[in-house]
Chains A and B, each alone.
Chain A
Amino acid sequence: MNRTLKFLIPLALFLVAVGFLTKGLFLNPREVPSPLVGKPAPVFTAPILGEAGKRFNSADMKGQVWLLNVWASWCAACRDEHPLLMDMAQTKRIVMHGLAYKDVDAEAQQVLIAMGNPYNKVITDTDGKIGIDYGVYGVPETYLIDKAGIIRYKHIGPLTPEILLTKVVPLLKELGV
């Protein structure tokens, strides 16, 4: 090896490291992509909020594209996205079910009365079992599930208009909604 080149190795290694660190600044180390994207959504049945005795069966959603929005009355960030969910519900373009994650029924209902109910149905997951099956780790989370019951997209954290326009809407178009 050329004598001078050899002494440039430390600098070269350092610059590579800087490249990665720069990239790292724009990544979120807390956001864990779900391995479930591209896989069948776990099937579950659970009580429906406000409809005593009735159960929701996710298998019944086959043939429809739908959103599953995981939220809770105790979750502050969920209130941030709530108005946007209301706007989405207005357009009636897509079915959106809510999953009240580890929530008390009465408290969840209170929030929906106070802030409006954007959901077609609200499913209760009082003990968080469905949440575990879906790999929920930070509410709110939103799943987009296609006609074949495959999870096509997952968003962690509050939805924003930007996410909706750049990620969700194009995907919905692709899926023919």
Chain B
Amino acid sequence: MIPAIGELTLILAFILSIIQGTLPLVGVWKNKTTLMNLAVPTARAQSLLILISFAILMYSFYINDFSVLYVASTSNSQLPTMYRLAAVWGGHEGSMLLWVAILSIWTIAVTLFAKNLPDSFRIRLIAVMGLVSVGFLAFILFTSNPFDRLIPAALDGRDLNPLLQDPGMVFHPPVLYMGYVGFSVAFAFAIAALLDGRLDNAWARWTRPWTTVAWAFLTLGIAFGSKWAYYELGWGGWWFWDAVENASFMPWLVGTALIHSLAVTEKRGAFKVWTVLLSICAFSLSLLGTFLVRSGVLTSVHAFATDPSRGLFILLYLVIVIGGALLLFALRAPNVGLGEKFDVVSRESFLLANNVVLVTAAGSVLLGTMYPLLIDALGGGKISVGPPYFDAVFVAIMAPGLFLMGLGPLAKWKKASIPEIGTRLKLAAVISVVSALLVPSVLGKISLMAAVGVFMGAWIVSTTLILLQNRIKAKQLASVSLLENLKNIPLAFYGMLLAHLGIGVFVLGVTLVKGYESEQDLRMEVNDVAKIGDLAFVFKGAQKIQGPNYISSQGKFVVTEDGKQIALLYPEKRFYPVQGATMTEADIEPGVFKDLYVSLGEPLEKGAWSVRIYIKPFVQWIWAGCIIMALGGLLALLDRRYRIANKNLSSRAEEVF
């Protein structure tokens, strides 16, 4: 009975979304207020209905309703409650429902917070959000209904894949989808602007906060996923360039480019065509990612059970949404003007150079991801494109971008002078070169890659700090204290500083863990000691323990540094009987400078085990960097200019950067 209500609310939402996506557009076109007024109530109602439907699916999981096919195939009565709820998005059908549920949250947010836009623009914006929703609801209802019944009901469920039984499963997908789907708002702004014939500074200013929030979520979502892989897979890998990881990374790269080009468009009314194209591309890549994961065209560790009919359906949807958007773009873009003048060397041009780098990087990730498919489709056989390719090409493309990152924010708007920037950055250059020489020799192994990486990380961090110092100096009034000066700097500026610092921290983390991690494959008997540098790992044996839905062999390790105990580690080897799967649960002692990472291999004779011990220097900096970036984005959002700008449309944007 209850699942039937969930299905019904979904059908109602589908009907309402059709109204939301069509009639208000007609209303704007024919200037009929009654039709235009439908937009907000239908948008809110359909969003609420989707959320109710989502809650009902969650409830079905909570009460173990195995008369629902999807529940029976992804959950189990033995599964702990937290994972039972997370199992809602543990399979294809439920994760699609999560997709639209998050779209609903964004839709409601748009109806609440995008109030002070011109009527025609606001109505079109909401209608486009409705059209995005129509396609996905149709997809769910016609090909992937999570409420399909199983009669007679199963006695118990087939369980959630043990790999997914992890706190990471609770946070990673919703946050990632908040980012993915959040780009639909920037997309809807772009389409509304094209329909409205209103590509101007104001449009860019309205789009910016929405893009920044979505970007911050996407950053966090990707970081969560990477962290999860790090401890879950048992060998400490944190990025594999898997097709699905790439699918989330491409919108991130394009979204990052978009944030920067929006700044130019807002400021100068320039590069509007480019910015609107990026808005379309960011969301299109999100959609493409959805297609890649669910259609089975690429092999991936994350792939859902595949079904060609689903693939065709999404592909058709892509053609309508992306094809339609690009067609509209081709029709409207030629009439857009150039905007204000600025010099070839200026803050604006640095921001756009960043765009070239980021879009090329996204392009090369796309090329590498799709290349096996292209070659196969052209009859060229099967090839694989994996980490060695992406590491080499991506780093080479991004390196100049990272260097420019240090220069750009110091350049003046409209016209900048390179010698002047150079003078300001002398100190940063010295710091970076010294770090690049010093850090590798302190860590005990000198390599070119490590030196270049440390240089880049130090360059970004030091230039960012100099930027803050310059800013204080530029605005300093004799009578005002330093604190007062710091308070006068807009939050958006701090946001940018933080985001850039985050990149620097991230680059340092990646460089140092890649260059200086160590791995030992050992055979350890009880009380055996593994000595690695000043560290000693003592194996205290393994014992059987009973988990809620698994049996585990849990090893105990005492770690000492210079004779002092610094950590107790309990890596496990778990067996999940329902799916007959064995999982390696590594145990990690995280630290600012290094992680100690121990995972159990196989039991050997006489209580001995094969054991892997990794030392991962600075690996936490990778995720810390991402969190700092995301915080930067959220801080920028709190800037008061967005609140003021919304009230006073015609006012020029305040200084941001």
Interfacial residues, chain A to chain B (CB-CB below 8 A): 3-4, 7-8, 10-11, 14-15, 17-18, 20-27, 29-33
| Nearest CB in chain B to that of A17: its residue | B370
Q: Report whether B329 and A27 are in contact in the complex, using a CB–CB cutoff of 8 Å.
A: no
* Given A30-B299, A33-B381, residue A20 in contact with residue B370 (CB < 8 A): yes
- For the complex with contacts A24-B297, A27-B297, A32-B382, 8 further pairs of A-B residues with Cβ separation under 8 Å are A7-B333, A8-B330, A11-B323, A20-B370, A21-B295, A21-B318, A24-B377, A29-B373
29 contacts between A and B (CB under 8 A): A3-B334, A4-B330, A7-B333, A10-B281, A11-B330, A14-B284, A14-B322, A17-B370, A18-B315, A18-B318, A18-B319, A20-B373, A20-B374, A20-B377, A21-B315, A24-B295, A24-B376, A25-B295, A25-B308, A25-B311, A25-B315, A26-B308, A29-B298, A29-B372, A29-B373, A30-B299, A31-B382, A32-B382, A33-B381
**Smallest CB separation, A38 vs chain B (Å):** 13
| Nearest CB in chain B to that of A11: its residue | B326
Count of residues in B whose CB is under 8 Å from the partner chain: 33
Q: Report whether A29 and B297 are in contact in the complex, using a CB–CB cutoff of 8 Å.
A: yes
Specify which of A3, A21, A29 is in contact with B299 (CB 8 Å cutoff): A29
Residues of chain A within 8 A (CB-CB) of B297 are 21, 24-25, 27, 29
Q: How far is the CA of A29 from the CA of B374 in the complex (A)?
A: 11
Residues of chain B within 8 A (CB-CB) of A7 are 273, 329-330, 333-334
| Nearest CB in chain A to that of B308: its residue | A25
Q: How far is the CA of A33 from the CA of B312 in the complex (A)?
A: 25
Which of A15, A18, A22, A25 has most chain B Cβ within 10 Å?
Answer: A25
Is B638 an interface position by the 8 A CB rule?
no
Residues of chain B within 8 A (CB-CB) of A10 are 277, 280-281, 326, 329-330
| Nearest CB in chain B to that of A3: its residue | B334
Q: Closest 6 A-B residue pairs measured CB to CB?
A: A24-B297, A11-B326, A23-B377, A7-B330, A7-B333, A25-B311
| Nearest CB in chain A to that of B284: its residue | A14
**Smallest CB separation, B353 vs chain A (Å):** 21
Specify which of B291, B326, B333, B372 is in contact with A14 (CB 8 Å cutoff): B326
* Given A3-B334, A33-B381, A33-B382, residue A22 in contact with residue B315 (CB < 8 A): yes
Interface residues of B in 299-342 (CB under 8 A from A): 299, 308, 311-312, 315, 318-319, 322-323, 326-327, 329-330, 333-334
Q: How far is the CA of A125 from the CA of B161 in the complex (A)?
A: 33
**Smallest CB separation, B634 vs chain A (Å):** 31
Q: Is the interface of B mostly helix, strand, loop or mixed?
A: helix
**Smallest CB separation, B273 vs chain A (Å):** 8
Q: How far is the CA of A32 from the CA of B284 in the complex (A)?
A: 30
Q: Report whether B373 and A24 are in contact in the complex, using a CB–CB cutoff of 8 Å.
A: yes
Q: How far is the CA of A118 from the CA of B329 in the complex (A)?
A: 63
**Smallest CB separation, B366 vs chain A (Å):** 9
Interfacial residues, chain B to chain A (CB-CB below 8 A): 273, 277, 280-281, 284, 291, 295-299, 308, 311-312, 315, 318-319, 322-323, 326-327, 329-330, 333-334, 370, 372-374, 376-377, 381-382
Q: How far is the CA of A23 from the CA of B382 in the complex (A)?
A: 14
Specify which of B291, B323, B326 is in contact with A21 (CB 8 Å cutoff): B291
Specify which of A4, A14, A30, A33 is in contact with B323 (CB 8 Å cutoff): A14
Residues of chain B within 8 A (CB-CB) of A27 are 297, 373, 376-377
Residues of chain A within 8 A (CB-CB) of B308 are 25-26
**Smallest CB separation, B329 vs chain A (Å):** 7
Q: Report whether B376 and A29 are in contact in the complex, using a CB–CB cutoff of 8 Å.
A: yes
| Nearest CB in chain B to that of A13: its residue | B326
Q: How far is the CA of A30 from the CA of B382 in the complex (A)?
A: 9
| Nearest CB in chain B to that of A22: its residue | B315
Residues of chain B within 8 A (CB-CB) of A14 are 284, 322-323, 326
| Nearest CB in chain B to that of A2: its residue | B334
**Smallest CB separation, A12 vs chain B (Å):** 9
Residues of chain B within 8 A (CB-CB) of A30 are 299
Which of B280, B326, B333 has most chain A Cβ within 10 Å?
Answer: B326
Residues of chain A within 8 A (CB-CB) of B315 are 18, 21-22, 25
Residues of chain B within 8 A (CB-CB) of A15 are 323
Q: How far is the CA of A22 from the CA of B319 in the complex (A)?
A: 11
A-B contact count (CB 8 A): 74
Residues of chain A within 8 A (CB-CB) of B318 are 18, 21
Q: How far is the CA of A32 from the CA of B381 in the complex (A)?
A: 8
Residues of chain A within 8 A (CB-CB) of B277 are 10
Residues of chain A within 8 A (CB-CB) of B381 are 33
Q: How far is the CA of A21 from the CA of B329 in the complex (A)?
A: 22
Q: How far is the CA of A14 from the CA of B283 in the complex (A)?
A: 13
Residues of chain A within 8 A (CB-CB) of B319 are 18
| Nearest CB in chain B to that of A10: its residue | B326
Residues of chain B within 8 A (CB-CB) of A20 are 370, 373-374, 377
Q: How far is the CA of A8 from the CA of B327 in the complex (A)?
A: 7
Q: How far is the CA of A24 from the CA of B327 in the complex (A)?
A: 24
**Smallest CB separation, A13 vs chain B (Å):** 9
| Nearest CB in chain A to that of B374: its residue | A20
Q: How far is the CA of A20 from the CA of B395 in the complex (A)?
A: 27
Residues of chain A within 8 A (CB-CB) of B372 are 29
Q: How far is the CA of A47 from the CA of B607 in the complex (A)?
A: 38
Q: How far is the CA of A124 from the CA of B291 in the complex (A)?
A: 44
Q: How far is the CA of A34 from the CA of B303 in the complex (A)?
A: 24
Residues of chain A within 8 A (CB-CB) of B374 are 20
**Smallest CB separation, A5 vs chain B (Å):** 9
Residues of chain B within 8 A (CB-CB) of A21 are 291, 295, 297, 315, 318, 373
Q: How far is the CA of A24 from the CA of B299 in the complex (A)?
A: 11
* Given A4-B334, A10-B277, A10-B329, residue A29 in contact with residue B377 (CB < 8 A): no
**Smallest CB separation, A113 vs chain B (Å):** 28
Q: Report whether B329 and A11 are in contact in the complex, using a CB–CB cutoff of 8 Å.
A: yes
Specify which of A11, A23, A25 is in contact with B327 (CB 8 Å cutoff): A11
Residues of chain A within 8 A (CB-CB) of B327 are 11
| Nearest CB in chain B to that of A23: its residue | B377
**Smallest CB separation, B258 vs chain A (Å):** 15
Q: How far is the CA of A20 from the CA of B315 in the complex (A)?
A: 11
| Nearest CB in chain B to that of A35: its residue | B381
Q: How far is the CA of A20 from the CA of B376 in the complex (A)?
A: 9
Q: How far is the CA of A4 from the CA of B273 in the complex (A)?
A: 13
Which of A21, A22, A31 has most chain B Cβ within 10 Å?
Answer: A21
**Smallest CB separation, B71 vs chain A (Å):** 27
Q: How far is the CA of A29 from the CA of B273 in the complex (A)?
A: 37
| Nearest CB in chain B to that of A16: its residue | B374
* Given A10-B329, A30-B299, residue A25 in contact with residue B312 (CB < 8 A): yes
| Nearest CB in chain B to that of A8: its residue | B330
Q: How far is the CA of A43 from the CA of B45 in the complex (A)?
A: 71
| Nearest CB in chain A to that of B376: its residue | A27
Q: How far is the CA of A10 from the CA of B435 in the complex (A)?
A: 43
Q: How far is the CA of A112 from the CA of B377 in the complex (A)?
A: 40
Residues of chain A within 8 A (CB-CB) of B295 are 21, 24-25
Residues of chain B within 8 A (CB-CB) of A31 are 382
Residues of chain A within 8 A (CB-CB) of B377 are 20, 23-24, 27
Q: How far is the CA of A30 from the CA of B315 in the complex (A)?
A: 21
Q: How far is the CA of A31 from the CA of B376 in the complex (A)?
A: 11
Q: How far is the CA of A14 from the CA of B281 in the complex (A)?
A: 10
Residues of chain B within 8 A (CB-CB) of A29 are 296-299, 372-373, 376, 382
Residues of chain B within 8 A (CB-CB) of A22 are 312, 315
Q: How far is the CA of A63 from the CA of B363 in the complex (A)?
A: 53
Q: How far is the CA of A134 from the CA of B326 in the complex (A)?
A: 49
Residues of chain A within 8 A (CB-CB) of B322 are 14
Which of A24, A30, A32 has most chain B Cβ within 10 Å?
Answer: A24
**Smallest CB separation, A68 vs chain B (Å):** 22
